[in-house]
Amino acid sequence: MIEVKGLCKYFKNVKAVDNINFTVSEGEIVGLLGENGAGKTTTLRMIATMLKPTSGTALINGYDLLKEPDKVRSNIGILFGGEAGLYDRLTARENIKYFADLNNMNENESRENIDRLVKMLDMEEYVDRRVGKFSRGMKQKVAIARSIVHNPKVMLFDEPTLGLDVTSSKIVQDFILSCKNENKAIVFSSHSMQEVEKLCDRIVIIHKGKIIEDMRVDDFKGKYGEDFEKAFVGLVGDK
């Protein structure tokens, strides 16, 4: 589903991402772990075609991000952490519909999908209200619906629970697990070890732009012990 092949990204002389390779299969959640500035967001931005790789490429659902960026974008959904990034003066439905339209969905398709997501995320009460006065949790649900409205096969989560309270974090985590159940390939970037341990099948640790570990969670525990945090600090500190 996702095949990252020798991706590199330089910002002037700084190597933000340095020749990374990993794969993500259908129904698999891969945790991209790293400290701030390690290259997680740059990697996700390259996979999402927002940034052009300096070298290397990635195949998303069989489409090369350099050759067919439009096809790649139609196959990915992305959810960012921090601010939900919604248009406050539009209603929740208009926010979701805008992204459905920009992803080339026809009227029937988008209406059906929006109705399904509204039901699934329990948003019936406020879907036709402007999002400006929504709570953080309500906004997060709209952002989730927006990211998945076009039925992407691949989901990218860039620190999606950053700054969220426990309830809102739970909504996001449940959504990630529901994506797994729908057999989507998922990349989940975070620096919360607990979250990674709870959600991921496999972890890829990235440090100073390079992958320093890539293994299944169970194998990781076997190799480094049960304490994820200690293992991570040990690994990153050694390099």
Partner 1 sequence: MNMKAIMIVFKKELTDLLRDKKTVIVGILIPLIIFPIMFGLIGRSVEGNIKKTSENLKIAIQSQDKSQLAVFLKSQKNITVVDSNDIKKDVQEGKIYVGLIIPQNIEESIKDEKSAEIKIIYDDTSQNSNMACNIIKSLIEEYSKEIVKSRLMSKGIDYSILTPINIKEEIAAKDEGGFGKFMLSLLLPLMLIIYGMTGPMAAATDLGAGEKERGTLEPLLTTQAGRMSLLFGKLLSITVMGFMGTVSSIIGLMIGVKAGGSVFGGDMPLLLSPITVIMIGIFVLLIIMVFGALELSISIYARSFKEAQTYLSPLTIIGMAGAYGTYMIDVKNVSTILFNVPLANVSLIIKEFIIGIYNPLHIGMTFGWNLVYIFLAVLFARYMFSKEEVIFRA
What string marks each residue from 96 to 135 as x (binds partner 1 by CB under 8 A) or -? --xx-xxxx-------------------------x-----
Q: Which of 50/233 has CB closer to partner 1?
A: 50
Q: Which of 55/194 has CB closer to partner 1?
A: 55
Say whether residue 78 binds partner 1 (CB under 8 A).
yes
By CB under 8 A, name the one of 37, 52, 62, 135 that touches partner 1: 52
The nearest distance, CB 16 to partner 1, in angstroms, is 11
Say whether residue 83 binds partner 1 (CB under 8 A).
yes
In whole angstroms, give the CA distance from residue 103 to residue 119. Answer: 21
The contact set with partner 1 (CB under 8 A) reads 11, 45, 48-52, 70, 73-74, 76-78, 80, 82-90, 94, 98-99, 101-104, 130, 143, 146-147
